[in-house]
Amino acid sequence: MTLKRISLQKFSDTLSILSEFYVALLVTGPLLFVIMLAVMAMLGGGGLGMLGPDLLLSILTYLGIPLGSIVFLIILDATSPRW
């Protein structure tokens, strides 16, 4: 019972750290980029070479966030203990 409790406590700590990473990288990060790219698109600011703010916004929305979430789920599955 004690070993199971210690194992669950370690997993709980790992899960809390991973949740902080998820919020920081996949919630607030894209939110800041969406705001920044929307303002750049309205002001007519340049992008990164051929990639304008509109295209970067679409790439972030349709590719970046879903792929980041899938990678996070794979990491979460790899770190979760098998019962």
Query: Which segments of 1-83 does DSSP mark as H helices, in order?
Result: 2-23, 29-43, 53-59, 65-79
Length of the chain: 83
Q: What is the pLDDT, as a whole number, of residue 49? A: 73
CB neighbours of residue 76 within 10 Å: 14
Q: What is the pLDDT, as a whole number, of residue 48? A: 66
pTM surpassing 0.95? no
Nearest CA among 27, 5, 11 for reference residue 77: 11
Q: What are phi and psi of 64, to 5 degrees?
A: -65, -50
Could you say which DSSP state residue 80 is in? S
Residue-wise pLDDT tens for the chain (83 aa)?
Answer: 999 899 899 999 999 999 999 999 999 999 999 998 888 878 876 666 778 888 888 999 999 999 999 999 999 999 988 87
